[in-house]
Structure 1
Amino acid sequence: MSEWDLRKLRILRTLRERGTVTATAAALHMTPSAVSQQLTGLAAQLGVDLLEARGRRVRLTDAARLVLAHTEPVFEQLERADAALAAYARGDAGEVRVGAVPTAVPALVVPAVRALRDSHPQVSVRVRETEAAEAYRLLAAGDVDLALSLAAEAPSATDPRFTHVPLLADPLDVALPPDHPLASAPGLALADLAAEPWIYGGSGPWSDITRRACEAAGFSPHQGHSASGWTAILAMVEAGMGVALVPRTAADPRTAVVLRELTADRPVRHVTAAVRKGAAASRAVTHTLNALTTAAERIGRS
């Protein structure tokens, strides 16, 4: 196999563009004798004549043109590599690993990834769906670069390991069976559902959020069924097995469940992003945070 010397190939390419050895030397800040020496060496390496004399000038041989035709894609790819490395050095390129609670993935992460494809295509996002508290453990361990979770599960704001970015106050609506007597009642309040069987997880943040919301409305909820996944919860509500508090970002229009906005005692859950201290200096992370913030603002306006 022939020896391919990129530096010498660039000189040959420049000669094709400039036309003379003197002009080539000036463009590359070389002496004419150095240009001639490098091209002679390249011809020896490749085993073909690259130049032929035309009076006091030289011209490229057919072999030289063949060489350049095949090496042009190499130069193009190297230009792309240079651009990618420059973007990486600036922080405009790279992978951002995001650990996110299930409801945040379709509501926030997916819209952010779509936006980044247009605004910063060299930033790639790798998503890991996780539970709320686990997202912060993964962040602390360095397994993700950005945690998208519930503020209720977040470490203290004074924790020196993290920087927190509030994203969304996600309203909680009441999910009722389609034939529930209060499905169309005006002015629904949580206290109106005090005698209902409630569906929520046996433990974890959603259990705490449901209990606290009901207790703030003046009653302790009776847990009729235990489930942690929104598909299961909404399916049981649709079947008339109970009622549930559902974040607006978890609503599924494919079900027949009636979602009612509460006019009083309206609870919310707060979704926050967190990064390790200092990580926000990475422009790739900053671009991702900005895209998530924009996605959250759109939800807030809807």
Structure 2
Amino acid sequence: MYDLHRLRLLRELSHRGTLAAVADALGYSPSAVSRQLGILEREVGMSLLEPAGRGVRLTPAARTLVVRTERIVRELEQAEAEIAGMRTDLVGVIRVATFQTAAHGLVLDTIARLQRNHPRLTVEFTHLEAEATVPALLARDFDLVLSEQYPGNPPVPHPGVMMSTLAEDPLLLAIPTAWDAKSLKDLAEAPWVMEPPHTAPRTWTAAACRAAGFEPDVRFETADLSLHTAIVSKGLAAAFLPMLAQNPSPHMRLLPTGEHRTITLAIRAGSDSNPALQAFTTTIRSL
């Protein structure tokens, strides 16, 4: 029988991409990871890794082993959830990956309620870039992930991940109160603040302006939506803001766009029956 520890190292490599990344995540040296995978190759009797530039890639035999190992890991996670369900109180640590506005508007309140109701349950969260969330979830760096999808950018399904809609967050047009503008078309000559290029919010906001007949004059770029609010309030630019992100200001007017972003919640298949995760999801949905 193949060694499960070594199989999980191979699985980690499939998710993290490099021996160095596996070593860093698990607290080993790269040479120790390489040595264990070499032993696994001898157990299997076939090559599992092949050179790819400066790194390595998995062979077909290795990919077959990873698929089977994923099933084993899901079964173990299900067993962990069932054992947790036998306890009379909730204990342990939940690791959450989230984006900025969900952290401010949803996660902090959820943590506060859980601390009152389940004092032995700890919730940790990390602000993580969107493109890294699902790989980090599958690699077990996190137990639960909150992410956002803008119109025209639906989530990509991933085997082993269960994703559900948490909330629909209206998208608003934010305009300085001193400006005499009543719609998006009135802002063709206006300066804008937008998120950085190649992000889903930027793609949507630029497309909305183009649909209104103009190319936006982007003067300011930042992923910090509280800074968007400050820039609009000071009369420096217009912006699109999700309802969850906006802070009321007498110097800013908000107009509906008729569009919304979707806030999603993702967990690994097999962990959905874990009582601690159920407590988190129940609490965040009740806000």
Q: What is the TM-score normalised by the length of structure 1?
A: 0.60
Offset, 1:88: 7.4
Q: For residue 103 of structure 1, what is the aligned residue in structure 2?
A: 101
Q: Which moved more, 1:137-146 or 1:192-201?
A: 192-201
Offset, 1:284: 0.4
Q: Which moved more, 1:206-215 or 1:138-147?
A: 206-215
Structure 2 Cα separation of the partners of residues 213 and 286 of structure 1: 37
Q: For residue 124 of structure 1, what is the aligned residue in structure 2?
A: 122
| Paired residues, number | 202
Mapping for residues 5-154 of structure 1, pairs under 5 Å = 89=87, 92-152=90-150
Higher helix content, 1 or 2? 1
Structure 2 Cα separation of the partners of residues 230 and 211 of structure 1: 16
Mapping for residues 219-258 of structure 1, pairs under 5 Å = 219-253=214-248, 255-258=249-252
**CA separation of 1:128 and 1:276: change in aligned 2, threshold 3 A:** same
Q: For residue 169 of structure 2, what is the aligned residue in structure 1?
A: 170
Offset, 1:248: 1.2
Offset, 1:239: 2.6
Structure 1 Cα separation of the partners of residues 119 and 253 of structure 2: 37
Offset, 1:286: 1.1
**CA separation of 1:245 and 1:93: change in aligned 2, threshold 3 A:** same
Between the two proteins, what is the percent identity of the paired residues?
28
Q: Deviations over 1:115-155 (max 9, x none)?
A: 22333333221111122222223212211111111135775
Structure 1 counterpart of 2:156, which letter? S
Structure 1 Cα separation of the partners of residues 213 and 145 of structure 2: 34
Query: Does the 8 A contact of 1:147 with 1:275 survive in 2?
Result: yes
1:191 pairs with 180, 185, 191, which one? 185
Q: For residue 68 of structure 1, what is the aligned residue in structure 2?
A: none
Structure 1 counterpart of 2:180, which letter? P
Q: For residue 17 of structure 2, what is the aligned residue in structure 1?
A: none
SS at match of 1:249: coil
Q: For residue 213 of structure 1, what is the aligned residue in structure 2?
A: 208
Q: For residue 272 of structure 1, what is the aligned residue in structure 2?
A: 264
Q: For residue 156 of structure 1, what is the aligned residue in structure 2?
A: 156
Structure 2 Cα separation of the partners of residues 259 and 88 of structure 1: 52
Query: What residue ranges of structure 2 are gaps of 5+ in the alignment?
Result: 1-82
Structure 1 Cα separation of the partners of residues 141 and 277 of structure 2: 14
**CA separation of 1:223 and 1:278: change in aligned 2, threshold 3 A:** same
Structure 1 Cα separation of the partners of residues 140 and 251 of structure 2: 40
Root mean square deviation, CA, Å: 2.5
Offset, 1:86: 7.9
Structure 1 Cα separation of the partners of residues 225 and 107 of structure 2: 18
Structure 1 counterpart of 2:144, which letter? L
Structure 2 Cα separation of the partners of residues 131 and 86 of structure 1: 30
Structure 2 Cα separation of the partners of residues 171 and 289 of structure 1: 21
**CA separation of 1:169 and 1:215: change in aligned 2, threshold 3 A:** farther
Query: What residue ranges of structure 1 are gaps of 5+ in the alignment?
Result: 1-84, 183-187, 296-302
SS at match of 1:168: strand
**CA separation of 1:160 and 1:257: change in aligned 2, threshold 3 A:** farther
**CA separation of 1:194 and 1:161: change in aligned 2, threshold 3 A:** farther
Larger Rg: 1
SS at match of 1:179: coil
Q: For residue 294 of structure 1, what is the aligned residue in structure 2?
A: 286
**CA separation of 1:86 and 1:273: change in aligned 2, threshold 3 A:** closer
Structure 1 Cα separation of the partners of residues 252 and 169 of structure 2: 18
